Amino acid sequence: MTIPTAFRHSFLELVLLVLCVLLAFIAPGFFTAANALNVLRNVSMQGIIALGMTAVIIAGEIDLSVGSAVAFAGCWTAYITGLLTGPGFGLPAGLAVPVAIVLAAATGCALGGCAGILRTRFGVPSFISTLALMTGLSGAAELITNGFPLTPFPGWYNVIGGGYLLGVPVPALVFVAVFAAMHLVMNNTTFGRAVYAVGGNAEASRLSGIDVRRIKVTVLALTSTFAAMAGIMQSSEIMSGTATTAKGWELDVIAAVIIGGTSLAGGAGTIRGTMVGVIFLGVIINGMTLLNVNEYWQHIVRGALILGAVLINRMQSPRDGADASRERR
């Protein structure tokens, strides 16, 4: 079964529009500017990671470590800040915090790059390497904090994750900026086209002169950097480095990417679709919260959304539909 192209490209946007209209009538307080900004704030940090995850999945890989990377980055930022402002170094917070932020982002980039190297040079599937990284980073965050939140940040640090600029949450502005950059890169650069080519057929891409190893390492490093950015913003929002934050974020991120139309088989997907998927998931959660839906039911609904998105994606693709028909025979 093949869905007409024009309808297929705007299907999720139409569903989101219908959902928003419905919630405007049945959910108290949904159709307000304050609630819209609240939804944007809530989805921003996961959304930033989802934009990077889109490139990873399009390239035919997966990253399960992003949730732990968020917690680790927040704890690592807090630890370095406390170390630099402590008796040993005695740096002012205005200098220590930027240094900590840069080191946390660089660490995230290096960890993602290591996962990419394990994949491309040693043949370790990214599912396995990032699963190991997820466990390791979770333990590292606990070791850094010793099980207690670290709170070395100055008051102004809260602006990064909890502040507003012209009435808009700062994380939402960062999310929009990352979206614009990723949309440009994936649609208008040689690198973006190479990511699609590698995900579609890695061997053909290699024979065409594309450095497949570099592409895979780069997208994994980029996503880990985005996860570190989200961890820094979250530590700013809660004003501490806490090892127990961002539990299960990797599943929410992957869910948003899948709902947005990216194929887990690689080679297909859009940054725009992920943006819509992130907002769609955020609106669903926000609507259910306003309607006082039981939290357990919320998990069930999210699971059903993921399954439904996968089924719709298979119907949308002529190739997948043909494969499904052969399987039924």
Residue 268 reports pLDDT greater than 90: no
Q: Picking from 28-37, 72-81, 111-120, 299-308, which range would have the lowest pLDDT averaged per residue?
A: 299-308
Q: State yes or no: pLDDT of 244 exceeds 80.
A: yes
Quote the strand ranges of the chain, DSSP E.
Answer: 164-165, 168-169
Tell me if 80 sits within 8 A of 103, measured CB to CB. yes
Residue of 60, 59, 51, 49 lying closest to 191 (CA atoms) = 59
Instruction: Give the chain's end-to-end CA distance (angstroms, integer).
Output: 15
In the structure, how many helices (H) and strands (E) does the chain have?
14, 2
Q: Hey, what long-range contacts does 172-179 have (CB within 8 A, 24 or more apart)?
A: 172/37, 172/40, 172/41, 172/44, 174/44, 174/48, 174/229, 174/233, 175/40, 175/43, 175/44, 175/45, 175/47, 175/48, 178/48, 178/51, 178/226, 179/47, 179/51, 179/271, 179/275
306-325 tens-digit pLDDT: 787 777 766 665 444 444 33
**What pLDDT digit, counting tens, does each position of 174-222 carry?**
999 999 999 999 999 999 999 999 999 998 998 888 999 999 999 999 9
Tell me, what's the pLDDT at 298? 83
| Residues 49/255, Cβ–Cβ less than 8 Å | no
pLDDT at position 182 is 96
Domains and CATH numbers, the chain: 5-315 (1.10.3470.10)
Q: How confident is the model at residue 7 (pLDDT cuts 50, 70, 90)?
A: low
Quote the pLDDT of residue 48: 96
What global pTM score does this model have?
0.91
Residue 260 CA to residue 281 CA, distance in Å, equals 10
Give just the sign of the alpha carbon dihedral 83, 78, 181, 170. Answer: negative
pLDDT at residue 9, as a whole number: 63
